[in-house]
Amino acid sequence: MYILNKYFCKITVISFKIFSESVYSYKGEKQRKIILTVEQIRDQHFLMVLWGAGAAWCPQLQRKKDHIWEFKYLLAQRSSISGDIELHTTPWSSCECLFDDDKRAVEFKEKFQKSEKSLMKMTNLSTHLEEKCSGEINKIYKQCLSCLPFNKVRKFYRPALMTAEDKGCEICIQVVSELMEKIFLNIPADWLNRFIVPPSDTTYGMIVADLCHSLLTDTEASYLLDVRSHFVLDENSYPLQQDFFLLDFHPDL
């Protein structure tokens, strides 16, 4: 199952199938369920299930069922009955009806009229490797069960590649999101637009930017790094591949 960051589609058919499902609950409450049909590729339909609060969108979807809609944060999963991909709303989902002259709607119409094979391609890693495709799988995120039942999507720092140098020897070290936050004084990514003190114009994002600048420009500073290394050697012990992963960062020696 995946969380789709954005999903553009044309509402083609509204099916008034309304249920109260005990098998799908949120915070112990039964969820109202409405099933509708959407079309993202010409003549190719998907079922979309509106759960709970998402069911309240039904009247406006009815009134503007021939318009282009943008949905965010949908859960895409295969039906256990038909095996087809179904789209489900989540507690974070939102929808927006786009005006005809909206850039997003114009781009969607152009692709829709060309009847391209796929505007949204979901694949797992093994399939992607078998197909040997070049390109990007962006905007598809696996559901983070540990984040539930929060009612908003958390933001995280992107993993980074750090270049470290010691006595003329230089290596590149992979840094995961959690350690990026530690390096940035444990300032969460969600706080970057917040003001440190409400009357002040200084945001946490400015503090992080200043810290990045100091880390990159202060050539006299030294830091203690815990690093895990992984080497792949040939039969002559020549390194074919060498990877380094940051385990911990100590700003003060």
Looking at the domain assignment, is residue 187 inside a domain?
Answer: yes
What does the pLDDT average to over 16-34?
61
Same domain, 90 and 190: no
Looking at the domain assignment, is residue 54 inside a domain?
Answer: yes
Looking at the domain assignment, is residue 140 inside a domain?
Answer: no
Look at residue 128 and give its three-state secondary structure: helix
Question: What's the CATH number where 121 sits?
Answer: 2.40.50.140
What does the pLDDT average to over 8-17?
54
d(CA 176, CA 157): 8
Q: Please tell me the pTM assigned to this model.
A: 0.45
Looking at the domain assignment, is residue 15 inside a domain?
Answer: yes
Same domain, 26 and 96: yes
Same domain, 34 and 113: yes
Range ranked top by mean pLDDT from 10-24, 48-62, 201-215: 201-215
Same domain, 167 and 222: yes
d(CA 81, CA 103): 37
Characterize 123-137 residue by residue with b for buried, 16 or more Cβ atoms within 10 angstroms of its Cβ, and e for exposed. eeeeeeeeeeeeeee
Looking at the domain assignment, is residue 87 inside a domain?
Answer: yes
The CA-based angle 19-23-29, given to 5 degrees, is 80
Choose one of 101, 126, 151: the last residue of a domain: 126
The tally of domains found in the chain comes to 2
Which DSSP category does 120 fall into? Answer: S
Looking at the domain assignment, is residue 63 inside a domain?
Answer: yes
Looking at the domain assignment, is residue 9 inside a domain?
Answer: yes
84 or 19, greater pLDDT: 84
Q: Which of 29-43, 78-92, 109-123, 171-185 has the lowest mean pLDDT?
A: 109-123
**What percentage of the chain has pLDDT greater than the value 70?**
70
**Residue ranges making up the domain that contains 226:** 160-250
Looking at the domain assignment, is residue 150 inside a domain?
Answer: no
Q: Is 236 exposed, middle or buried (0-12, 13-18, 19+ CB in 10 A)?
A: exposed
Residue 154 has which token pair?
């958390």
Which DSSP category does 27 fall into? Answer: T
Choose one of 126, 149, 179: the last residue of a domain: 126
The CA-based angle 147-47-137, given to 5 degrees, is 55
Bridge partners, residue 233, by sequence: 239
Question: According to the model, what pLDDT value does residue 139 have?
Answer: 46
Question: According to the model, what pLDDT value does residue 119 have?
Answer: 44
Same domain, 19 and 74: yes
198 or 242, greater pLDDT: 242
